[in-house]
Amino acid sequence: MALNYVWIVFFVVGLVIALFRLIVFHDYEIFKKLVEGIFDASKSSVMDIGLPLAGAMIFFMGLMNIGEKAGAVNFLARILNPFMKRLFPEVPDKHPAMGEMVMNFSANMLGLDNAATPFGLKAMESLQTLNPNKETASNSQIMFLVLHTSGLTLIPLSIIAYRASGGSTNPTNVFVPLMLATTVATVASIIITGIYQRLRFDKVLVLWLGGIIVSIGLFAMFINSLPSQKNVAEPSLFTKETFSNVLGNCILFFIISAFIIGGFVRKINVFDAFIDGAKQGWDVIIKVIPYLVGLLVAIRVFRDSGALDAIINGISWCFIQVGITSDFVPALPVAIMRPFSGGGARGLMLDIFKVHGADSFIGQLASTFQGSADTTFYIIALYFGSVGIKKVRYAIWAGMLADLLGVIAAIMIAYIFFA
């Protein structure tokens, strides 16, 4: 599938729905709303996403260049090589892309979005050097992107913060359910994409997957055993909120310091290496912005036309008609919006907090939805756009299918923990 078709579908569906609302419901303001949305999305794509991303991109691309010259990235690649080479058989052993992908996954798991994106874009650039057809996504690039969109997160810092600001008396109680749901989505993405790519699910790969699942389960049990800050008389490191916040940021700062100190020990001109890498970061931002503007404007048209609301209402009606309990339906808009817009899904989640309460079943399920997947279409535009890929093949449907399985898992887990 080409991004060209996705782009056209969003606009055509938006036009059809808008004309329907104009003719049937006499909504004379709909086209004004769409035009204003186009200008707003164009501006926010650059001012709210592109430029803020530029600073983090420039810094972490410079840091990655230090890490590559010092051998830190290759060191990470060697450690995880038995697992990674089975997921990415087209990537040669000890290739820099392996370590860069590990850095991206690690930052994602720690909830450090600002660091994850630059690492991921650097990994995509390295994978592009191995791609024989520069405008068509390779199997390795698709596997990497689908894994990224599955949103594996061990420390959901932003979700905890939003729940606390939304009036939750126990903002960390979604910690374990969220980890379980996002793990299901990640394993599903590996299996779905692996079957399509005909990967060998040998003993080593199965053991690695099993080990990752067990490790995440043990970490979830440890976090769940910690007391909440509200139940502790004095501030303590070993509470769910404080430990989660400190761990992620501490690890990231340790990595930054280790790269810089390692480069100095290896007698590298650290600052010059940083500047060389940072220049590449700005080049990537310039390449990415047109893709972001194009796709995010199309998504905004799709959303403002009412097409997304129609999908949500249709799904809700289907559940009611077949007699399935509809307790979870008010939270579905968050799950449906999430692949299209992280900000839109966040706004819907906060609205649910106001209406139903952050600690209600709906509020906790919405929190789990928000943290158990990622913005699939945004990531496709950002990552593939950074290297000029126009034909994404099966990346969209594989990512969306993994998201769907994550949503189903989130609903089942929410009934176990919160109902």
What pLDDT was estimated at residue 248?
Answer: 65
CA 100 to chain CA centroid, nearest Å: 16
For 46-62, the pLDDT digits (tens) are: 887 778 778 877 888 88
Residue 229: what pLDDT?
A: 65
More confident residue, 68 or 157: 68
Q: Which residue has the higher pLDDT, 374 or 384?
A: 384
Q: Are 339 and 377 in contact (CB under 8 A)?
A: yes
Contact 199, 86 (CB under 8 A): yes
416 CB contacts (<8 Å, ≥6 apart)?
177
Under 8 Å between Cβ of 361 and 419? yes
Instruction: Give the pLDDT confidence of 294-316 residue by residue, as tens digits.
Output: 888 888 898 889 887 888 778 77
Let me know if 305 is exposed, middle or buried by CB neighbors in 10 A (0-12, 13-18, 19+): buried
What pLDDT does residue 233 have? 64
Main-chain phi, psi angles of 60, to 5 degrees: -75, -25
More confident residue, 106 or 244: 106
* CA gap 183, 181 in Å, rounded: 5
Which three-class secondary structure state does DSSP give residue 213? Answer: helix
Each residue of 261-299: pLDDT tens digit? Answer: 989 998 889 999 999 888 877 887 888 788 878 888 888
Residues 6 or more apart in contact with residue 54 via CB below 8 angstroms: 281, 282, 285
334 versus 247: the higher-pLDDT residue is: 334
d(C-alpha 271, C-alpha 66), whole Å = 8
pTM > 0.75: yes or no: yes
Residue 329 has pLDDT above 70, yes or no: yes
Q: Is 391 helix (H, G, I), strand (E, B) or coil?
A: strand
231: pLDDT confidence band, cut at 50, 70 and 90?
low
CB contact at 8 A, 72 and 259: yes
For 324, which DSSP code?
-
**pLDDT for the residue 197:** 92
Q: CA–CA separation, 340 vs 375, rounded Å? A: 6
User: Using CB atoms within 10 A of its CB, is residue 137 exposed (0-12), middle (13-18) or buried (19+)?
Assistant: buried
At residue 114, does pLDDT exceed 80?
A: no
Question: Is 40 in a helix, a strand, or coil?
Answer: helix
Contact assessment for residue 297 and residue 38, using Cβ atoms and an 8 Å cutoff:
yes
Q: What local confidence, expressed as pLDDT, does residue 18 receive?
A: 93
More confident call, 229 vs 93: 93
Q: Please, which pLDDT band fits residue 241 given cuts at 50, 70 and 90?
A: low
pLDDT at 1 over 60: no
Whether the predicted pLDDT of 245 surpasses 70: no
Q: What DSSP character marks residue 172?
A: G
**Does residue 243 have a pLDDT over 80?**
no
Q: What is the mean pLDDT of residues 388-416?
A: 86
**Is 312 in contact with 332 (CB distance < 8 Å)?**
yes
d(CA 208, CA 213): 9
Number of H helices, E strands in the chain: 19, 0
Statement: residue 126 has pLDDT above 60? yes
Pick the closest to residue 212 from 183, 190, 185 (CA basis): 183
What percent of the chain shows pLDDT beyond 90?
A: 17
Distances (CA, A) of 280 to 64, 126, 268, 284: 11, 13, 19, 6
Report the distance separating Cα 298 and Cα 138, nearest Å.
25
Q: Is 324 exposed, middle or buried (0-12, 13-18, 19+ CB in 10 A)?
A: exposed
Report whether pLDDT(39) > 90: yes
Structure tokens of 402? 């993994």
Q: What average pLDDT does this structure show over 353-366?
A: 89
What's the chain's average pLDDT?
83
Q: Answer whether residue 109 shows pLDDT above 80.
A: no
Give the distance, in angstroms, between the CA of residue 403 and the centroid of all CA atoms in the same chain: 10
Q: Is it the case that residue 191 has pLDDT exceeding 60?
A: yes
Give the helix ranges, DSSP H, for 130-239: 139-149, 157-165, 175-196, 203-225
Residue 281's CB is within 10 A of a number of other CB atoms, namely: 24
Q: What are the E-state strand segments in 55-150?
A: none
* pLDDT, mean of residues 383-392: 88
Count Cβ atoms within 10 A of the Cβ of residue 194 and give its class: 0-12 exposed, 13-18 middle, 19 or more buried: middle
Checking if the pLDDT of 324 tops 70, the result is no
Q: What is the DSSP string of 268-290?
A: --HHHHHHHHHHHHHHHHHHHHH
Question: CB within 8 A of 29, min separation 6: which ones?
Answer: none
